[in-house]
Amino acid sequence: MRLFTSEAMREADRKAVALGYPSLLLMEAAGRGVAGWLRRWFTSRKAMVLAGKGNNGGDGLVAARWLAHWGQAVEVYAAEGQEGDAGVARRALEAHGLRVRPLSDWRPEVHAVVVDALFGTGLRGPLEGPYAELVERLNASGLPVVSVDLPSGLPYAPHVRAHLTVALAGLKHEHLFYPHRTACGRVVLEPIGMPKEALENPALPEVLHSAAMRALLPQRPGDAHKGSVGRVLVAGGYRTYTGAPSLAALGAYRSGAGLVTVAYPEGCEVRPPLEA
Domains of the chain (ranges; CATH) run 3-199 (3.40.50.10260), 218-263 (no CATH)
Least confident of 31-45, 149-163, 250-264: 250-264
**pLDDT of amino acid 88:** 97
Cα distance from N-terminal residue to C-terminal residue, the chain: 30
Rama region for 169: left / alpha / beta (φ>0; ψ in -120 to 50; rest): left
275 pLDDT exceeds 60?
A: no
Q: Collapsing DSSP states into helix, strand and coil, what is residue 241?
A: strand
Instruction: Give the per-residue pLDDT at 206.
Output: 87
Q: Of 2-6, 163-167, 207-211, 242-246, which range is least confident?
A: 207-211
Q: Which amino acid is at 267?
A: G
pLDDT digits (tens, 9 = 90+) for 202-215: 999 988 877 777 77
Alpha carbon dihedral 194, 191, 126, 122, in 10-degree steps, equals: 0
On the CB side of 28, CA atoms within 13 Å amount to 7
The 3-state secondary structure of the chain reads CEEECHHHHHHHHHHHHHCCCCHHHHHHHHHHHHHHHHHHHHCCCEEEEEECCCHHHHHHHHHHHHHHHCCCCEEEEECCCCCHHHHHHHHHHHHCCCCEEEHHHCCCCCCEEEEEECCCCCCCCCCCHHHHHHHHHHHHHCCCEEEECCCCCCCCCCCCCCCEEEEECCEEHHHHCCCCHHHHCEEEEECCCCCHHHHCCCCCCECCCHHHHHHHCCCCCCCCCCCCCCEEEEECCECCECHHHHHHHHHHHHCCCCEEEEECCCCCCCCCCCCC
Closest CA to 121 of 2, 4, 269: 4
| Residue 23 · residue 17 · CB < 8 Å | yes
Q: With beta carbons less than 8 A apart as the criterion, state whether 175 and 181 touch.
A: yes
Question: What whole-number percentage of the chain has pLDDT above 90?
Answer: 76
Tens digits of per-residue pLDDT, 62-104?
999 999 999 999 999 999 999 999 999 999 999 999 999 999 9
Q: Note the pLDDT of residue 189.
A: 95
pLDDT tens-digit readout, 25-55:
999 999 999 999 999 999 889 999 999 999 9
- Quick one: how many helices (H) and strands (E) in the chain? 10, 11
pLDDT at 76: 98
Look at residue 266 and tell me whether its pLDDT is greater than 90: no
Candidate from 69-78, 171-180, 181-190, 216-225 with smallest mean pLDDT: 216-225
* pLDDT, position 271: 63
Q: pLDDT at residue 274 above 60?
A: no
Helix or strand holding residue 199 (H, E): helix 196-199
What 3-state DSSP class applies to 186?
A: strand
pLDDT at 273 over 70: no
Decide: 137 and 104 in contact? Cβ < 8 Å. Answer: no
Residues 6 or more apart whose CB falls under 8 angstroms from that of 199 comprise 2, 12, 169, 170
On the question of pLDDT at 171 being above 90, the answer is yes
